[in-house]
Structure 1
């Protein structure tokens, strides 16, 4: 398969997952949407890392590099911890969660919260919690994805690494 076909398959895979996430969120299926979101970030972080297999550090590096976390009320560790908890147990905390240094995440949408209201809502939880607007997270992810795609276009080493790995990815054909 040539590099243009691989890039096309890669973009098709991303578009398929993003469309699925959008459909799920629009139908108030937010938990499965978040699971797919985390799977997509996992795949992108694997594609960008130099190793054969990726890990949590690669996930956090990708998130910190491409996602504007200043706009989201969370950081890369919060997202990683939530990813582990949600995808493995369907919860907001995993065995990696330490209340003295981590925050569990909760998500909301379709409401506007002032900073005072946000703090009041976060204080209601038993464990230290940050609330994240799901729509804002996905909008920022779209921006991050554009940054990643632009870097792939500019960086030949990253592009070649990605193409070699894309060749190993599973695709479905209809």
Structure 2
């Protein structure tokens, strides 16, 4: 299971490097992929992770801290960013989620949210740095809970066996 945490930390380090270089589209793709990965660890049993699992994980660990959106909003944003590098998804077009737009650096999400509230569009504005920070907190909370919840810990261990590892599993001792 050590490789799972190592992989997540490497992804977070990559996000930091991309953010430092102001490669924000890549940051968004990677952070939503990381959310997918970590939320898949909470899926009980041997079934594939689904939309409902992502939303449930985000609603439990991330949105209470972010407080500007729902798990559905972030799932729709994930679909939009990963599939089209946009801000609109089928869920947002159907009114099931808000469009997520992003600011970073010195920009304030509050200023842009106030402007968007004057329009007919359902938009939530998220500062990318806040999303990164909040995701880090959520990951920490999830792994902390896994250490206390034996059933979740066993589930994470089982699911982690199917994850990529850069460890040489064929190495002779």
Q: Shorter-chain-normalised TM-score: which range?
A: 0.7 to 0.9
Instruction: Say yes or no: does 1:80 pair with 2:108.
Output: no
> For each residue in 1:6-45, what CA deviation from the matched residue of structure 2 results, as whole angstroms up to 9, or x when unmatched?
2x21111011100001111111111111111111111111
- CA distance in 1 between partners of 2:104 and 2:25 (Å): 12
Residue of structure 1 equivalent to 2:133: 139
SS at the partner of 1:169?
A: coil
Residue of structure 1 equivalent to 2:171: none
Instruction: Say yes or no: does 1:65 pair with 2:57.
Output: no
- CA distance in 1 between partners of 2:31 and 2:51 (Å): 15
Residue of structure 2 equivalent to 1:3: none
Segments of 5+ residues of structure 2 without an aligned counterpart are 169-173
Deviation at 1:98, TM superposition (A): 2.9
Deviation at 1:61, TM superposition (A): 0.4
> For each residue in 1:36-67, what CA deviation from the matched residue of structure 2 results, as whole angstroms up to 9, or x when unmatched?
11111111111111142011100010001111
Aligned partners of 2:87 and 2:100 also within 8 Å: yes
Deviation at 1:71, TM superposition (A): 3.3
Q: What is the number of residues matched between the two proteins?
A: 167
SS at the partner of 2:52?
A: helix
- Please provide the CA RMSD for this pair: 2.2
1:34-53 matches, within 5 Å, as: 34-51=28-45, 52-53=47-48
1:74-113 matches, within 5 Å, as: 74-98=69-93, 100-113=95-108
Segments of 5+ residues of structure 1 without an aligned counterpart are 1-5
SS at the partner of 2:88?
A: coil
Residue of structure 2 equivalent to 1:163: 157
Q: Normalising by the residue count of structure 1, what TM-score does the alignment of the two structures yield?
A: 0.86
Runs (4+) of structure 1 exceeding 4 A deviation are 123-126
SS at the partner of 1:34?
A: helix
